[in-house]
Structure 1
Amino acid sequence: MSTQQQQLDFIERHLVFKIFKDFGPRASLDSHKVECSTGLDGFMSALYTLKLDLIIEDRVKTEVILIKFMKGTEEFRENSNSYIQFANEIFAYAEILPAYENVLRISHLEVDLVTNWVPKCYFAKFGQVEGLGNSRESVLALKHLKGDGYQLGPRLTLRRDQLEAMVGLVGPFHALGYATKILQPQVYNRLRAGIVDMPFVSSSGKAIFDVLYRVAFDRFYEFYDRQKEQLLKDSDAGFGDAIERLREKYFENPTQLLEWIRTASRADDQPDNHFATFLHGDYNRNNVLFHYGDDDKVDGIKAIDFQELRFSTTAIDLSFFMYMNTPSEGRDEIYADLLKKYHTHMINTLELVLRRNPDELSDDRVNELLNEYSFERFNAHFKRFAFYGALVCMHFLPWLLGNEKDCARLSHLFDTDMHGSDFHKLSMEIAGDEANLEIFKTVRHAYEHGYMDEI
């Protein structure tokens, strides 16, 4: 495994020059500085910032780059799926996004639609990297957007303009996946084959998803059994039955439910499997950066951290994003509105691209395809698999609601002993019944909208 010193040496000896060359022959490098980054945001990564002071045609320009390496021992990397996650993240920058740019190019559309989604990528490589030893490594160098005014959203729920910006980003992203499949099936099949599958189930029963969802179900049912009478007071009898059915079928192996969602939604024998495509996979407020105009409303957004990249139903991206980022109070109205806005962004982008290729598709064929992706069909598909978002909330929401001290300790335990009793105990207790009640409200919303019907 590469050491911190090897990573620093790699930046100094290799990356500085590679990145500097990107600014063209008229640029000269005045100075540079490398710093280690610390904090919870990099709990699976080693993060560095590289500051380049450049002179371009007698003008001074400062460029700040965020550099990301895999961290941890080989055992940690295996147990945490790091080798899969980092390979897929590099694949997103090196293969998927460039393929989407090409689809836009052949459709005579501006490729800025893709380049505006993410920070500029200077370097992306996974595997054996010269200068970092003989192990599999990952190196990703992206423009640091803080200097351009981009910032993370609030730790808890997002405002309406932030939520709408997020559906405005992910809708076109999914649409270009669909468009690539329709217009360039060979490219699409190559991209699909290039993604490393990341199952939720494991043969050992000790991988990261086993650990996280074991705690999630333990925590949910401990709270439910302790507060059942109060929790079900205003609910119909079917809700309690659905919770017990969930316990009976999946309590012993919670990851089997996630695996069913991941695989059933894309299976060849499913009539709605055309809603499966390339996902961000971890589409949450901590993985997007917002830019604000003079009115303090969002006027720009970029996605980061493609480590959970998957090929599966778009319900994974959407249900996760909406359950994790919408407030429980008033969720019905916000949730329904965001679903419709997402679909509008998606279908408008898909139609724009398809109609720019008349030599490939007749108007009648475009209309047939758009009907396949209609809101009615999309909503029926989403309903089958949207419980995914509630499942993610079960394990992730307490981390977000916990105080900084507990979060830091939980992150440390995750790094050092995720199978230990201390990690399990703190995971059960962090943020207390405040988090438990929010999780319960999420599950109840899912039940009321039919998202538990096929479980």
Structure 2
Amino acid sequence: MSTQRQQLDYIERYLVYDIFKYFGENAALVSHRIQCSTGLDGFMSALYTVELDLNIAGNEKKELVLVKFMKGEKEFRESSKSYTQFSNEIFLYAEILPAYEQLLRKSKLNTTLVDEFVPRTFRAQFGIIDGLSDDRESVLALQHLKPLGYELGPRLILRHDQLEAMCGVLGPYHALGYATRILEPQVHQRLRDGLVTLPFVFDAGVSNVFEVLYRVAFDRFFEFYDRCRDELLQGDQDTPLANKLEQMRQRFFDQPIQLMEHIRSDSCDPKQSDSYFSTFVHGDFNRNNVMFHEDADGKVDNIKMIDFQELRYSSTALDISFFLYMNTPCEERETIFPRLLRLYHRKMHETLELILQRNKDSLSDEQLQQFLDDYSFERFEGHFKRYGFYGVMICMHFMPWLMGNEQDCDRLSKLFETDMHGEAFHKLSVEIAGDEANYRIFGMVRHAFEQGYMDWI
């Protein structure tokens, strides 16, 4: 496993020069500086900022690059599934996005559609990397977005223009996966085969990070529910909700990850008539994994996705439900949820239709119409209803972390890396952010129940 010293040496001896070569033969490297990042920004990763002073054909240029390594000892990497997560993230940059770009070129469409998804990529490599260590490693070097005016959004709740911008990038991203499956099935199968499956349930005896996180989530939720039940439930009218929660407790309390695995695996089971709604999803699509760019009026005019470590092949409901539950204001959920779902679908469907229309020579009129009908809003809405509870489950364990104070978050991050199975990690996880977070989570559960997202439980 690479140490910080080894990572710094690798950047100094190899990566800096590989990056500056990207700028062509007329580029000369004048100087460079490397800075380590600290705090929660590198929860699963070791992050570095590399500043390059370049001279390109007589013109001075500064380039800021974010470099990301897999961190932790081997035991942590195995128990946190880092080897799988970082391998898949590199696979996205090295294989999936280039395949999407190629499809756009063949469709005679501007490839900036892909360029707008992510930062410029200088290096994406996973495996045994010369000059780093003898273990499998991950190196990802991306253009730093802050000098270009990109920033993270608010810690939890986003403005309407930010939410709409996220729908505007997520829809086309998913549509490219659908279009690849339809138009280039062999390429699509190659990409599926190259992606390492990231299940929630592991073999017996294998340390399971998801088991830890969702054990905490259910312990926390049901302790709060039992303690505040009379306050949370509104008389006889909430009897169906109470019955559903007891049903969920009986079926999944001992193994909460079985609920997550059911959603993940069932949604892409070819036996399901709507499995075509599965594709290569971001997996962790929410406010802290996107960067926003604003115009002169302070409104979002561009957005880029980062941190694809939870990349999976599964239902697009995984991305949408987590994003909506995590980042929408709870007091507006009744009105903003349906509006954003329709906006996401419109952006997805427009992109899919554009690509298919550009390739209509390879499709009959009947096929073209059938594919467009398959992805209609009515069918999407029915599909989402079956898997929309996924987002609530993620929020159960993750939202309290985001609502906690900086000191608790920093301690929780350290415990996660050093002793995620220990009593101290569990205790802090069920206490962080207190009942303020618990009330917010219960509000999500109530909304999901009222929308029918829990019907199958």
Which range, TM-score by smaller chain?
over 0.9
Partner residue in 2 for 1:8: 8
Partner residue in 1 for 2:221: 220
User: Is the 2:224–2:438 Cα contact (8 Å) retained in structure 1?
Assistant: yes
Which whole-Å deviations, capped at 9, do the CAs of 1:266-289 have from their partners, x for residues lacking one? 111110000000000000100000
Q: How does 1:136-215 map to 2 (within 5 A)?
A: 136-202=136-202, 203-204=204-205, 206-215=207-216
Paired with 1:215 and 1:237, the residues of 2 have a C-alpha distance of 26
Partner residue in 2 for 1:233: 234
Match for 1:196: what amino acid?
A: V
Partner residue in 2 for 1:117: 117
Partner residue in 2 for 1:337: 339
Partner residue in 1 for 2:249: 247
Partner residue in 2 for 1:91: 91
User: Is the 1:289–1:301 Cα contact (8 Å) retained in structure 2?
Assistant: yes
Name which of 444, 447, 454 aligns with 1:445: 447
Partner residue in 2 for 1:358: 360
Structure 1 residue runs of 5 or longer lacking an equivalent are none
Paired with 1:406 and 1:133, the residues of 2 have a C-alpha distance of 33
Match for 1:214: what amino acid?
A: R
Paired with 2:447 and 2:123, the residues of 1 have a C-alpha distance of 42
Match for 2:69: what amino acid?
A: F
User: Is the 2:78–2:207 Cα contact (8 Å) retained in structure 1?
Assistant: no
Structure 1 residue 27: Cα displacement: 1.1
Paired with 1:144 and 1:352, the residues of 2 have a C-alpha distance of 31
Which whole-Å deviations, capped at 9, do the CAs of 1:375-422 have from their partners, x for residues lacking one? 000000000010000101110010011111111111111111111111
Structure 1 residue 205: Cα displacement: 6.6
Which whole-Å deviations, capped at 9, do the CAs of 1:171-228 have from their partners, x for residues lacking one? 0000000000011000000000111011101223741100000000000000000011
Structure 1 residue 358: Cα displacement: 2.2
- 1:408 paired with 2:414, answer no
User: Is the 1:175–1:347 Cα contact (8 Å) retained in structure 2?
Assistant: yes
Which whole-Å deviations, capped at 9, do the CAs of 1:26-45 have from their partners, x for residues lacking one? 11111111111112010211
User: Is the 1:206–1:419 Cα contact (8 Å) retained in structure 2?
Assistant: no
Give identity over the alignment, percent: 62
Structure 1 residue 363: Cα displacement: 2.8
SS in 2 for 1:32: strand
User: Is the 1:224–1:231 Cα contact (8 Å) retained in structure 2?
Assistant: yes
User: Is the 1:355–1:363 Cα contact (8 Å) retained in structure 2?
Assistant: no
Which whole-Å deviations, capped at 9, do the CAs of 1:132-155 have from their partners, x for residues lacking one? 121000000000010000000000
RMSD in angstroms over aligned alpha carbons? 0.8
Partner residue in 2 for 1:42: 42
Partner residue in 1 for 2:263: 261
Paired with 1:34 and 1:48, the residues of 2 have a C-alpha distance of 7
Paired with 1:228 and 1:210, the residues of 2 have a C-alpha distance of 26
Partner residue in 2 for 1:26: 26
User: Is the 2:108–2:358 Cα contact (8 Å) retained in structure 1?
Assistant: yes
Partner residue in 2 for 1:64: 64
Match for 1:215: what amino acid?
A: V
Paired with 2:232 and 2:206, the residues of 1 have a C-alpha distance of 32
SS in 2 for 1:359: helix
Match for 1:225: what amino acid?
A: D
Runs of 4+ in 1 over 4 A off after TM superposition: none
Partner residue in 2 for 1:300: 302
